[in-house]
């Protein structure tokens, strides 16, 4: 049904997509360091805490688009929350507009602080929706991503962030909003299935109130307030699964 509707609506959807791209402000990625450590700066009372090596991996949301600094973005928020319970060595590998397959290619080409990560937080899927990645390709890309993280980077826990409810994005007109929302729901269903089938993957969903303070100026990306919820939820789930 979706394929038939897409074929019928294709000219209108293409026109709406072009208009949205033309009218939506392109926000930069958050500024700041993309790797670091809290271990050396830890106060004496925290020197005995365990060490966690963590990686944030993904697209524009992971790169902090919608936030001014990496400290405000999900990387900084996650590290801050984890630092209450551990010393943290962290790295961010992310870039705007990348699909799941392209994020993995970026990771393969990146210089990493370690070849063994305790926790990996992944944000992919929105660009697979906008580029209409086929379901089978999405499943294959997720499998390849998890395999690489597990075998090559020895990731103990991989947290896959749920795709946002794109059917609620205020910047998108109808019927484009409905179409991308349906695609996002399909990819989310397959992401949940993937996480259930792997021993070290977890589907990370969190509720973000649809209020203006939680949405960036472009009406598309998470704001610093949303990144805080994301980072805190990822820390809670990651620490639960890691213990």
| CATH code of 60's domain | 3.40.50.1110
The percent of residues in the chain predicted with pLDDT above 70, rounded, is 82
How many structural domains compose the chain? Answer: 1
Task: Let me know if residue 188 belongs to a domain.
Answer: yes
Which residues lie across from 158 on neighbouring strands? 120, 201
Task: Let me know if residue 110 belongs to a domain.
Answer: yes
More confident residue, 168 or 101: 101
Among the residue ranges 15-19, 75-79, 122-126, 140-144, the one predicted with the least confidence is 15-19
Q: What pTM was estimated for this model as a whole?
A: 0.90
C-alpha span between 229 and 117 (Å, rounded): 23
Task: Let me know if residue 24 belongs to a domain.
Answer: no
The model's pLDDT over 10-36, given as tens digits with 9 standing for 90+, comes to 555 455 565 666 566 689 999 999 999
Task: Let me know if residue 99 belongs to a domain.
Answer: yes
> What one-character DSSP code corresponds to residue 214?
G
pLDDT of residue 165: 87
C-alpha span between 180 and 43 (Å, rounded): 47
What's the average model confidence in pLDDT over 41-56? 78
Task: Let me know if residue 22 belongs to a domain.
Answer: no
Strands (E), the chain: 35-37, 51-58, 87-94, 119-123, 157-161, 201-204
Q: Rounded mean pLDDT of the chain?
A: 88
What's the average model confidence in pLDDT over 167-192? 82
With 80 as the cut, is the pLDDT of residue 98 above it? Answer: yes
What's the average model confidence in pLDDT over 132-152? 97
**Containing structural domain, residue 193:** 52-242
Task: Let me know if residue 13 belongs to a domain.
Answer: no
Task: Let me know if residue 27 belongs to a domain.
Answer: no
Task: Let me know if residue 149 belongs to a domain.
Answer: yes
Contact call for residues 192 and 204 (beta carbons, < 8 A): no
């Amino acid at each position: 049904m979706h394929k038939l509707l897409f074929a019928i609506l294709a000219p209108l959807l293409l026109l709406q997509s072009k208009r949205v791209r033309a009218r939506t402000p392109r926000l930069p990625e958050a500024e700041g360091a993309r790797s670091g450590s809290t271990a050396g700066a830890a106060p004496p009372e925290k020197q005995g805490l365990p060490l966690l090596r963590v990686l944030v991996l993904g697209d524009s949301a992971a790169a902090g688009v919608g936030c001014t600094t990496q400290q405000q973005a999900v990387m900084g928020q996650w590290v801050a929350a984890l630092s209450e319970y551990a010393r943290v060595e962290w790295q961010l590998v992310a870039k705007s507009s990348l699909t799941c397959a392209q994020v993995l290619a970026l990771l393969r080409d990146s210089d990493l602080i370690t070849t063994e990560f305790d926790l990996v937080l992944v944000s992919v899927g929105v660009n697979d929706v906008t580029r209409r990645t086929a379901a089978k390709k999405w499943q294959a890309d997720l499998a390849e991503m998890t395999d690489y993280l597990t075998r090559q980077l020895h990731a103990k826990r991989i947290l896959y962030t749920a795709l946002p409810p794109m059917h609620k994005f205020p910047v998108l007109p109808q019927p484009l909003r409905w179409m991308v929302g349906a695609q996002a729901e399909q990819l989310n269903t397959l992401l949940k299935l993937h996480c259930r089938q792997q021993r070290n993957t977890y589907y990370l969903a969190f509720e973000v109130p649809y209020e203006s303070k939680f949405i960036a100026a472009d009406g598309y990306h998470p704001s610093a307030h949303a990144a805080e919820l994301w980072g805190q939820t990822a820390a809670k789930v990651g620490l639960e699964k890691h213990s």
